[in-house]
Amino acid sequence: MLDIAPAPTARPGGIDRADYDRQCQAALVSPDAYWREQATALDWIRPFDTVKDVSFAAEDFRIRWFDGGQINVSANCLDRHLATRGDQVAIIWEGDASGEGARITYRELHDRVCRIANVLKAKGIGRGDRVTLYLPMVPDAAAAMLACTRIGAIHSIVFGGFSPEALADRIRDCGSRLVITADEGCRGGRRIPLKANVDSALERCEGVEHVLVLRRTGGDVGMTPGRDVWLDAAMADVSADCPPEPMEAEDPLFILYTSGSTGKPKGVLHTTAGYLLWVAKTFRDVFDHRDSDVFWCTADIGWVTGHSYVVYGPLANGATTVMFDGVPNYPDHGRLWETVDRLGVTILYTAPTAIRALMREGDDWVTRHSRASLRLLGSVGEPINPEAWAWYHRVVGDGRCPIVDTWWQTETGGILISPLPHATDPKPGAATKPLPGVQAQIVDSEGAVLSGAVEGNLVLTDSWPGQMRSVWGDHDRFIQTYFTTYPGKYFTGDGCRRDDDGDYWITGRVDDVINVSGHRLGTAEIESALVAHPRVAEAAVVGMPHEVKGQGIYAFVTLRVGETSTDALQNELRQWVRKQIGPVATPDALHFTPSLPKTRSGKIMRRILRKIAEGDTAAIGDTSTLADPTILDKLLGGCKN
Ligand code: WT7
């Protein structure tokens, strides 16, 4: 048995159990009054008229929060802190090499944001224009995000690990005219050719007029005259005065591409006031933030966790946030703990895949560092198995730090289901309870609402301010994807169990999305990359259990007539996918098969493929609907690597 201390009493202003119950009740019974009160945490330029105007019904679908209000995100993250904490550190930058770093105060960050905003303006960027960011984890990346919000431009960040092809797709989809990148990135001692990748992406898509290049490594890069300029030089040439643009509450704030079960990645669109309120409140409540904290979320700003809990949530609260440009196993497996000690980190927020990878290396890497500054630990991105939870609690947290296992999605903007450190008794592996204002239900595959201790699919029956508002350029796809499976409800795509205490346990995706090391990938995306190869006829991709990554990628491939499966072709296909999408999408297993299991109507039976990928061929189940019953023998005889 684990010896886990119950919830400690709340700090003044923190949420204890009675507050939690009170807030849940208030949000349910009088949502307008509740959210009006919560919204006082932000600085408004003009007060809003209506709090909430929402319908999930197809006929009159709408999601609007705080209509009539005007607000600016950068002013909430910077200007309003200057009088009281201008000299406080806003961002601690921790580079790839340990000890390489910098500290940026709120005043310095404000200066940099205003300058970048003026550079953008000078390039003709303004309200509603899209700006693509392809950057390493450096303070100027956060400054570039905030600079966009200052002038009402919409940022679209593309993770630096994505390929030029994937970058070009995302630039094309949102029609950016300007890209901000860096000469090179640095990860685990290796260089990443960011600028060269941008150059090659821009050969594949039109419309980009300007590229701003941040100097990170000083590496040699080509600059195209008339298009490319160095950011530092441009910043020195403009004024540090840039008034924040008054934005409407529902104006777009950013686009972030994420994978779904079908087609190309979709541009998740978040809007201004609701998103900001949600990340500001969840950061404060879930992490129990106090002024003296040093908060470290290890996520990259290329993912939503980086948007919400490296940049916007912490800065909206005037916090000190760490930006880490490295990896947990470089220069050695003690990197996180050595850094925790050196920076005095009090709250650490990371992913189960990192915890599992470090757990394998042994306790000594952890215990040789003090970690005395830590007081709270967080987990995000995928289900955390109880063994990893227990190790995180016992070894990393010395048994004294509460763990918040936070469930949310790119689409939800911020955390929706999570323990609160002073209100929730710990339960290894459970995301526990919905936050106040989150109306969760578990339904069966027909949509019947299940009550009590049950397992089914997780839906949300009402809106919360941080909810995504649309898919960029395809509002119908937004409604189709999320609101038609269970009409009138938002379908999360996740399976979920609720126990006798009413606690929620997320069991993982029930659609064709896989979660590899906390990175979300659509099986359809990997399949279309594979079939784009001239020797491939057909491909089907499923998730397989993976000890460290959570899920691995298992690809079934049939070759064109006349082609033979060889080890060399296996490698070639792996490299091919890597090049098409990025290293995160490289298949872990490639299984050549003469054909795929299909129903008579030609639909691939993924259930069977999943069982094979899990190595559970005894439990394949009903195969009577297979068009070709001999396929199973052929499949099981296929070569897998
Ligand atoms: C999917 C969303 C949340 C931001 C990072 C990932 C899975 C996320 C948890 C958790 C179990 C989790 C879900 C979700 N997930 N957090 N604490 N426990 N599963 O965002 O890339 O949009 O992925 O990640 O399956 O649907 P994302």
Beta bridge partners, 37, equal: none
17 annotated binding-site participant? no
Strand 504-509 and strand 347-350: the pairing is unpaired
How far apart are the C-alpha atoms of 145 and 151, rounded to whole Å? 11
pTM listed for this prediction: 0.95
Question: What's residue 454's pLDDT?
Answer: 97
C-alpha of residue 433 to centroid of ligand 1, in Å: 15
How far apart are the C-alpha atoms of 125 and 44, rounded to whole Å? 24
CB atoms within 10 A of CB 304: 27
C-alpha of residue 640 to centroid of ligand 1, in Å: 29
- Specify the residue with its C-alpha closest to ligand 1, atom 21: 520
Ligand 1 binding pocket mutation candidate from 409, 417, 481 (most atoms within 8 A of CB) = 409
C-alpha of residue 381 to centroid of ligand 1, in Å: 4
pLDDT for 35-48, tens place per residue?
Answer: 999 999 999 999 99
More confident residue, 360 or 623: 360
C-alpha of residue 415 to centroid of ligand 1, in Å: 10
* Integer angstrom CA distances of residue 327 from 96, 121, 295, 381: 7, 35, 17, 17
Beta bridge partners, 154, equal: 130
572 annotated binding-site participant? no
- Specify the residue with its C-alpha closest to ligand 1, atom 8: 381
ipTM comes to: 0.99
- Mean pLDDT of the 411-415 span: 98
> Within 152-193, where are the H helices?
164-174
Lowest mean per-residue pLDDT among 102-111, 172-181, 248-257, 506-515: 506-515
- Mean pLDDT of the 465-476 span: 98
Question: What's residue 224's pLDDT?
Answer: 98
C-alpha of residue 323 to centroid of ligand 1, in Å: 21
Which atom of ligand 1 is the closest one to the Cα of 509?
25
Lowest mean per-residue pLDDT among 408-412, 493-497, 599-603: 599-603
Phi, psi of 379, deg, nearest 5: -135, 145
- Residue 518: which pLDDT band, with cuts at 50, 70 and 90? confident
Lowest mean per-residue pLDDT among 1-5, 234-238, 294-298, 462-466: 1-5
Asked if the model's pLDDT at residue 477 lies above 60, the reply is yes
Ligand 1 binding pocket mutation candidate from 515, 549, 551 (most atoms within 8 A of CB) = 515
C-alpha of residue 158 to centroid of ligand 1, in Å: 18
C-alpha of residue 406 to centroid of ligand 1, in Å: 8
Question: What's residue 638's pLDDT?
Answer: 54
Phi-psi region of 562 (alpha: psi -120 to 50; beta: other; left: phi over 0): left
Distant-in-sequence, close-in-space partners of 237: CB < 8 Å, separation ≥ 6: 119
Question: What's residue 2's pLDDT?
Answer: 61
How far apart are the C-alpha atoms of 183 and 398, rounded to whole Å? 41
- Mean pLDDT of the 510-514 span: 93
Which atom of ligand 1 is the closest one to the Cα of 408?
3
Structure tokens at 472: 């960029």
C-alpha of residue 215 to centroid of ligand 1, in Å: 33
How far apart are the C-alpha atoms of 359 and 368, rounded to whole Å? 14
Distance of CA 501 to the CA centre of its chain: 29
C-alpha of residue 243 to centroid of ligand 1, in Å: 36
- Mean pLDDT of the 388-407 span: 97
- Mean pLDDT of the 28-55 span: 98
Phi-psi region of 231 (alpha: psi -120 to 50; beta: other; left: phi over 0): alpha
- Mean pLDDT of the 224-250 span: 98
C-alpha of residue 96 to centroid of ligand 1, in Å: 26
Distant-in-sequence, close-in-space partners of 112: CB < 8 Å, separation ≥ 6: 104, 139, 140, 143, 235
E-strand ranges in 43-184 read 52-55, 62-65, 70-71, 89-94, 101-105, 130-134, 154-157, 178-182
- Residue 260: which pLDDT band, with cuts at 50, 70 and 90? confident
187 annotated binding-site participant? yes
Asked if the model's pLDDT at residue 641 lies above 60, the reply is no
189 annotated binding-site participant? yes
How far apart are the C-alpha atoms of 305 and 415, rounded to whole Å? 9
Nearest C-alpha neighbor of 97 from the set 321, 348, 342: 342
Asked if the model's pLDDT at residue 639 lies above 50, the reply is no
Write out residues with Cβ below 6 Å of ligand 1. Answer: 258, 304-305, 380-383, 405-410, 431, 492-494, 506, 508-509, 515, 520
Per the CB < 8 A criterion, the answer to whether 74 and 150 are in contact is yes
- Specify the residue with its C-alpha closest to ligand 1, atom 17: 407
Question: What's residue 621's pLDDT?
Answer: 83
578 annotated binding-site participant? yes
Per the CB < 8 A criterion, the answer to whether 214 and 223 are in contact is no
Which atom of ligand 1 is the closest one to the Cα of 518?
6
pLDDT for 174-218, tens place per residue?
Answer: 999 999 999 999 999 999 999 999 999 999 999 999 999 999 999
- Residue 627: which pLDDT band, with cuts at 50, 70 and 90? confident
188 annotated binding-site participant? yes
Q: Which amino acid is at 419?
A: P
- Mean pLDDT of the 416-429 span: 95
* Integer angstrom CA distances of residue 300 from 1, 271, 295, 470: 35, 21, 14, 23
Lowest mean per-residue pLDDT among 126-140, 265-279, 335-349, 601-615: 601-615
How far apart are the C-alpha atoms of 195 and 223, rounded to whole Å? 9
409 annotated binding-site participant? yes
Question: What's residue 620's pLDDT?
Answer: 84
Percent of the chain with pLDDT over 90: 91
- Specify the residue with its C-alpha closest to ligand 1, atom 10: 407
Which atom of ligand 1 is the closest one to the Cα of 493?
26
- Mean pLDDT of the 84-107 span: 96
Which atom of ligand 1 is the closest one to the Cα of 299?
5
C-alpha Rg value of the chain to the nearest Å: 24
Percent of the chain with pLDDT over 70: 99
* Integer angstrom CA distances of residue 84 from 106, 107, 309, 318: 10, 11, 22, 10
* Integer angstrom CA distances of residue 170 from 147, 175, 195, 615: 20, 8, 16, 36
Structure tokens at 561: 């007539």
- Mean pLDDT of the 323-327 span: 97
Beta bridge partners, 553, equal: 543
